[in-house]
Amino acid sequence: MVHVGEFTFHRDHLSGGEARGEGVEARFPERPGQRVLDCRPWRTRHPHPVDLPPARLEAFLEQRLADRGVPVLRGYEVTAVEQDSEGVTVGDVQGRYLVACDGAHSTVRALLDVPFPGRAARMSSVAADVTLASRSAEVPAEAGHVSRYTRAAGGYFTVLAPLGDGLYRLIFGKTSGDGPSREVPVAADEIRAALRAVYGSETELGELRAASRFSDAVRQVEHYRAGRVFFAGDAAHIHMPIGGQGINLGIQDAVNLGWKLAATVRGWAPPGLLDSYHSERHPVAARVLRHTRAQAVLLNTGRDEEVAAVRDVVTDLLRLPDANRSIAGMTSGLDIRYPGLDPRMADLDLTTHDGPTRVSELMHSGRGLLLSLDGRHRPIEGWADRVDHVTAETGEVSEDGDAVLIRPDGYIAWSSTHDASVETALARWFGPRA
């Protein structure tokens, strides 16, 4: 298994990228007997994890808001949340709906007395991005299998993964599970102690770029909606940040809910559209929570021979193409398939009357897309204010038929292979004909 860290997301889930990704072997060189998770069997331009510090992602998203004239208010504390049949009030801010994205210790969730069932933390750990002034032979010099990164000695466990250009992702904690509370800043001396204990005195910390504390607590709200308030990201679910699934999970919550809220505010949402946010996203997070708990067991760095034996068996299983494909799809989120829907649309290369493009470029408007690949014009009078219709050609193999109706979040709501008409799907996801 490849450990890509808590700060990793899959680029297809944001934009579709700028070019075809390199092969997995180019991104994560293998050594004899090693194999990383391979996303090439999934329909993606980027069959590999993309390491991105949270600060860069946050800056990118904030700039996108600024480009659209959306204000970002900072320095405000939520002290009360009130809602009625007309809307939600948070201090001096009023709106028709509120989305609580305020983290694992959500104030909104607490103020509304929304339960957050699950398992409490049993250990305290640190995730940090660091450079090394010097290193011993035990420090991995290049990317490879996660088994090369996991070590334990001197009362500490560590996962030290090279990210390139001299940067390392270090995850560590005490094997006893003890550690400071999450409010205590991570000190450089704390990192030095862990490095020396596990990798020897020859390994010296260079620069501490970023660090945060996390635990192995596992919790999920029972329902993602409380009246006019919705929960997303860590406010809705928390898990041990391994496998690189946390940011993917939160961003996909936002993408799934965003277009449905917009449809409701603009008045064309069909009945039940907002409630589909919970029915679609809750099972996805529940599966991630199960998966990360299993990963935590396999990454146990103690000297438990039984766990080590299970880890070896799983590693061998992941060398089988079908098993590797399954776990790669689960970890990346590329295998998500919502009830009653086809999978997400592949980012095909297309040629339209305006020239070369691809599917992701056609979806920047945030509207639905009816894509005809057979040259036929399919009129969508009555939905043209919500759905774009594009006729295109592709030199790639489409697994979804000659025509597809794509939701704003990239999932296929209808294709020409379905028995139902496109009008039925348009009404189901984009409301009645205008």
Confidence check: pLDDT of 52 > 80: no
Q: What sections of 101-245 are H helices per DSSP?
A: 107-111, 188-199
Picking from 284, 283, 291, 281, the residue whose alpha carbon sits closest to that of residue 328 is 291
120: number of Cβ within 10 Å = 9
- 124-215 has which CATH code? 3.30.70.2450
Residue-wise burial string across 247-261, b where 16 or more C-beta atoms lie within 10 A, e elsewhere? bbbbbbbebbbbbbb
Lowest mean pLDDT among 185-189, 220-224, 399-403, 405-409: 399-403
pLDDT (0 to 100) of residue 401: 84
User: Cβ(239)–Cβ(292) under 8 Å?
Assistant: yes
pLDDT at 310 over 80: yes
Angle between helices 305-317 and 276-298 (to 10 degrees): 120
pLDDT band at 28 (very low <50, low <70, confident <90, very high): very low
Q: How far apart are CA 336 and CA 287, in angstroms?
A: 11
Is the pLDDT at 4 greater than 70, yes or no? Answer: no
The H or E element containing residue 282 is helix 276-298
Q: What pLDDT, on the 0 to 100 scale, is given for residue 31? A: 36
* pLDDT value at 47 more than 60: yes
Please name the amino acid found at residue 160. L
> Is residue 423 a contact partner of residue 378, using CB atoms and an 8 Å limit?
no
What is the phi-psi region of residue 20: left when phi exceeds 0, alpha when psi lies from -120 to 50, beta otherwise?
beta
Of residues 48, 51, 27, 52, the one with CA closest to residue 328: 48
Least confident window among 74-83, 232-241, 397-406: 397-406
Q: Which pLDDT belongs to residue 30? A: 39
Which architecture, in CATH terms, is 349-430? 3-Layer(aba) Sandwich (3.40)
Q: Is the pLDDT of residue 339 over 80?
A: yes
What is the token pair recorded at 366? 């945030």
pTM, two decimal places? 0.84
Quickly state the pLDDT bin for 246 (edges 50, 70, 90).
Answer: confident
Least confident range from 2-16, 157-171, 318-332, 373-387: namely 2-16
Q: How many C-beta atoms surround the C-beta of residue 7 within 10 A? A: 22
Q: What is the model's pLDDT at position 146?
A: 64
pLDDT at 302: 58
Share of the chain above pLDDT 70, in %: 88
Classify residue 393 by its DSSP letter.
B
For residue 286, give every residue at least 6 positions away whose Cβ sits within 8 Å of its Cβ, in sequence order, or none: 220
- Please compute the mean of the pLDDT values over residues 228-249 and round it to a whole number: 90
Q: Which residues pair with 214 in a beta bridge?
A: 125
Question: Could you read off the pLDDT of 265-295 as tens digits, one per residue?
Answer: 999 999 999 999 999 999 999 999 999 888 8
The listed range with the strongest mean pLDDT (137-151, 166-180, 266-280, 319-333) is 266-280
193-206 per-residue burial string, b: 16 or more CB within 10 A, e: under 16? bbbbbbbeeebebe
φ, ψ at 339 (rounded to 5°): -55, 130
- Going by C-alpha positions, the residue among 4, 5, 49 that lies closest to residue 24 is 49
- The distance in angstroms from the start CA to the end CA of the chain is 50
In this prediction, residue 355 carries a pLDDT of 95
Higher pLDDT pick, 109 / 181: 109
Tell me which CATH code domain 9-119+219-332 carries: 3.50.50.60
pLDDT mean over 65-79: 92
15-42 burial, b if ≥16 CB within 10 A, otherwise e? ebbeeebeebeebbeeeeebbbbbbeeb
Beta strands (DSSP E) in 148-263 are 150-153, 156-164, 167-174, 204-215, 218-220, 225-226, 229-231, 237-238
**Whether residue 241 has pLDDT greater than 60:** yes
Answer for the pair 369, 387: CB distance below 8 angstroms, yes or no.
yes
- Domain regions of the chain by residue span: 9-119+219-332, 124-215, 349-430
Arithmetic mean of pLDDT over the chain: 86
Q: How confident is the model at residue 29 (pLDDT cuts 50, 70, 90)?
A: very low
pLDDT digits (tens, 9 = 90+) for 125-162: 899 999 999 999 999 888 766 667 888 889 898 989 89
Q: What percent of the chain has pLDDT over 90?
A: 58
H/E run at residue 51: strand 50-51
Q: How confident is the model at residue 51 (pLDDT cuts 50, 70, 90)?
A: low
Report which residue type is found at 5. G
Task: Tell me: pLDDT of 1 over 70.
Answer: no
Q: Are the CB atoms for 175 and 181 separated by under 8 Å? A: no
Q: 286, 258, 212: which is closest to 54 by C-alpha?
A: 212
- Residue range 311-339: mean pLDDT, rounded: 90
Q: Which pLDDT score is estimated for 104? A: 92
